[in-house]
Chain A
């Protein structure tokens, strides 16, 4: 069978057949005497390497002078909206003003019936608002005055939003002043810049919330180690995904909750081993080929204590910051697979 099938097809068939036998196995197996309750995650347990089923025991990798390796590009997607450039801010403001000049004016009687509570509330809220009226006498004042930001002019800062948009519908006459204040209170949004940003704590995932962050690690066992994505050599008959996951577990422990995006590499890097480092079973290895696999983190943090890959330090960096810390050749190989934002 093995001669006629490729490895991928063979794996699929073997996997399917194994699943079909699983139900037979469970039905025939004797019920366990006493179900033991185990904790979901045993943090103190020794880390074990993931076991992989070998579907092709006779398969032998063809000889090559390159050592194959897989590396995990684990990233955190942006959590906040992107920051607008000054030009975009100005441009959007200009377009909003143009829109106000070109569309028909707001017909208040159509949206709010005169004499109703909603109408009164709407009028009351508008009293203090700085509103540009393209149909009034001062229609020509459609530009910002010196020192005004567009946000300030359009009542979009926190205080104005609370003042002009929070409705008092659920406030009843019997409420005390404190209760009214509590009902009108709107949670103030947290600043875009976090504490980790201010302290420049690159180990924290809570930094650069509007950017994609990538995990880089540094080995501590040699002098001239540089920053890299977690990387491991392919051993035995592991595939790229398994090796990449294994490299992450070895380097950063099991405290990270992540998912692997797809089964294919997103990047590739090869280099020649320096003279005197060429090795292998027969001394035939002259270089290394690294395949980058993509992963996304949900939560957690790398655990360095007791890691098997001699990792001394880790950082969560943006694309520009990565350029500053990695080697030039490495940067050339990885820069195309990192998103701009």
Chain B
């Protein structure tokens, strides 16, 4: 029995063997072909129950050649693997997430993304050319100055003490490496954030916000609750108040392309995204009013189904791999996002 694991045999077959006398099986040690012949007798050679023997070596024709009854239910896409992973020694091992029968399988991609292709074929090479800074071959790189200061003084407490933060700031800015073909700025993730202020009064509004966010992004919404009670805003602690949706990969590019090519041109007297946006680390944010969110084609198509005045506005954060806002702005400009007003230098 030890040599025959259920992995090698059909499931029902394994169950059948378990019900047989195990000592008998261990003594005889039959081959799989012999067991198959024993379990699936064909009409050509029908051994009677009295003279069934394991001496038959030629494999006979299976009753289930397609293997539909191999595991789970009948049908190619209706296999349901066990919900929980039971460890590496369990006979059932879950398939890879890329296998359509896996519980973690997510289908896709469904088509090529126009904006992504445009980035790969046109924008990336141009960005690299524009941001290139030449250094002579074999030039010695200047060692960077210590960004965290030492504790200087005679105090014995300074020994082994963690270093001091940078002067004048309470954060450590990113270091900037020269842009090469390896680190051309690219879009990493887009996060849509909706704060539904209507849900302070009406708990239904957060459901509307969830549906609106999910339908325009195509990804699952995460709920956020209020951290504290603020009487002036009618906010109560632990009240469900905001929704975020994260996108990456094709859906992210599709969403951004919809924003740039469909939604932004529909906004009346739209100046663009504020030039001062950004967190100094290459993440830019812009926002849309509730009226603009209603202009998304996914909401516009059945706008009547959303209760009146409950569609929230949203903030859209574009996370890029650029280490400065300047490079991130250059990337988004190349995608077609307009910027206006004062432009920051960093």
Which residue, of A81, A99, A212, has the highest number of chain B Cβ atoms within 10 A?
A81
Q: Which of B100, B118, B302 makes the CB contact (< 8 A) with A118?
A: B302
Q: Which of A92, A212, A262 makes the CB contact (< 8 A) with B110?
A: A92
B168: interface (CB < 8 Å): no
A30: interface (CB < 8 Å): no
CB nearest to A337 among chain B residues? B125
Q: Which of B121, B125, B130, B304 makes the CB contact (< 8 A) with A78?
A: B121
On whether A102 and B107 interact (CB within 8 A), knowing A112-B305, A118-B304, the answer reads yes
How many A residues touch B, CB cutoff 8 Å?
Answer: 29
Prevailing SS type, chain A contact patch: loop
Inside 8 A of B117's CB, which chain A residues have their CB?
Answer: 81-82, 341
| B112 and A81 within 8 A (CB) | yes
The contact sample of 5 A-B pairs, CB cut-off 8 A, is A78-B122, A98-B107, A102-B107, A262-B131, A341-B117
Inside 8 A of B50's CB, which chain A residues have their CB?
Answer: none
**How far in angstroms is the closest Cβ of chain B from A287?**
20
Inside 8 A of B130's CB, which chain A residues have their CB?
Answer: 261-262
In the bound complex, how far is the Cα of B130 from the Cα of A23, in angstroms?
30
Q: Which of B112, B121, B131, B304 makes the CB contact (< 8 A) with A339?
A: B121
B134: interface (CB < 8 Å): yes
B4-45: which residues lie under 8 A (CB-CB) from chain A?
Answer: none
A101: interface (CB < 8 Å): yes
Inside 8 A of A294's CB, which chain B residues have their CB?
Answer: 126, 129
A113: interface (CB < 8 Å): yes
B128-177: which residues lie under 8 A (CB-CB) from chain A?
Answer: 129-132, 134
A21: interface (CB < 8 Å): no
B114: interface (CB < 8 Å): yes
| Extra contacts besides A84-B112, A266-B129 (15): CB < 8 Å | A77-B122, A78-B122, A92-B111, A92-B112, A95-B108, A96-B107, A98-B107, A99-B110, A113-B304, A118-B302, A118-B304, A262-B129, A262-B130, A294-B129, A296-B126
Which residue, of B117, B125, B131, B134, has the highest number of chain A Cβ atoms within 10 A?
B125
**How far in angstroms is the closest Cβ of chain B from A41?**
27
Inside 8 A of A266's CB, which chain B residues have their CB?
Answer: 129
B286: interface (CB < 8 Å): no
The range of chain B's interface size is: 20 to 34
A312: interface (CB < 8 Å): no
Q: Which of B105, B118, B126 makes the CB contact (< 8 A) with A102?
A: B105
B65: interface (CB < 8 Å): no
Interface string of B95-117 (1 = CB under 8 A from A): 00000100001011111101001
| A88 and B132 within 8 A (CB) | no
In the bound complex, how far is the Cα of B109 from the Cα of A92, in angstroms?
6
Inside 8 A of B134's CB, which chain A residues have their CB?
Answer: 264
In the bound complex, how far is the Cα of B302 from the Cα of A340, in angstroms?
42
In the bound complex, how far is the Cα of B122 from the Cα of A77, in angstroms?
7
Q: Which of A110, A116, A296, A341 makes the CB contact (< 8 A) with B304?
A: A116
Inside 8 A of B309's CB, which chain A residues have their CB?
Answer: none
B77: interface (CB < 8 Å): yes
Q: Which of A101, A102, A113, A212 makes the CB contact (< 8 A) with B121?
A: A212
**How far in angstroms is the closest Cβ of chain A from B76?**
9
CB nearest to A112 among chain B residues? B302
| B305 and A111 within 8 A (CB) | yes
| A95 and B110 within 8 A (CB) | yes
CB nearest to A83 among chain B residues? B112
Please list the residues of chain A having a beta carbon within 8 angstroms of any beta carbon in chain B: 77-78, 81-82, 84, 88, 92, 95-96, 98-99, 101-102, 110-113, 116, 118, 212, 261-262, 264, 266, 294, 296, 339-341
Number of A-B contacts (CB under 8 A): 67
In the bound complex, how far is the Cα of B125 from the Cα of A261, in angstroms?
10
| A82 and B107 within 8 A (CB) | no
In the bound complex, how far is the Cα of B132 from the Cα of A97, in angstroms?
44
In the bound complex, how far is the Cα of B125 from the Cα of A224, in angstroms?
33
Closest 6 CB pairs of A and B: A99-B107, A262-B129, A98-B107, A262-B130, A77-B122, A341-B121
In the bound complex, how far is the Cα of B130 from the Cα of A24, in angstroms?
33
Inside 8 A of B305's CB, which chain A residues have their CB?
Answer: 110-113
Inside 8 A of A96's CB, which chain B residues have their CB?
Answer: 107, 110
Inside 8 A of A296's CB, which chain B residues have their CB?
Answer: 126
| A99 and B129 within 8 A (CB) | no
Q: Which of B77, B108, B112, B302 makes the CB contact (< 8 A) with A101?
A: B77
In the bound complex, how far is the Cα of B134 from the Cα of A331, in angstroms?
25
CB nearest to A294 among chain B residues? B129
Inside 8 A of A92's CB, which chain B residues have their CB?
Answer: 109-112
| B132 and A264 within 8 A (CB) | yes
In the bound complex, how far is the Cα of B281 from the Cα of A178, in angstroms?
58
Q: Which of B114, B122, B129, B304 makes the CB contact (< 8 A) with A264?
A: B129
**How far in angstroms is the closest Cβ of chain B from A150?**
11
On whether A98 and B100 interact (CB within 8 A), knowing A81-B112, A92-B109, A261-B130, the answer reads yes
Inside 8 A of B118's CB, which chain A residues have their CB?
Answer: 78
| A111 and B302 within 8 A (CB) | yes
Inside 8 A of B107's CB, which chain A residues have their CB?
Answer: 95-96, 98-99, 102
Inside 8 A of A95's CB, which chain B residues have their CB?
Answer: 107-110
**How far in angstroms is the closest Cβ of chain B from A209?**
13
| A261 and B129 within 8 A (CB) | yes
**How far in angstroms is the closest Cβ of chain B from A11?**
15
CB nearest to A95 among chain B residues? B107
**How far in angstroms is the closest Cβ of chain A from B55?**
41
**How far in angstroms is the closest Cβ of chain A from B129?**
4
In the bound complex, how far is the Cα of B129 from the Cα of A294, in angstroms?
8
**How far in angstroms is the closest Cβ of chain A from B132?**
5
Inside 8 A of B112's CB, which chain A residues have their CB?
Answer: 81-82, 84, 88, 92
Inside 8 A of A111's CB, which chain B residues have their CB?
Answer: 302, 305
In the bound complex, how far is the Cα of B116 from the Cα of A341, in angstroms?
13
Inside 8 A of B122's CB, which chain A residues have their CB?
Answer: 77-78, 212, 339
CB nearest to A77 among chain B residues? B122
Inside 8 A of A339's CB, which chain B residues have their CB?
Answer: 121-122, 125
On whether A99 and B108 interact (CB within 8 A), knowing A81-B117, A112-B302, A264-B134, the answer reads yes
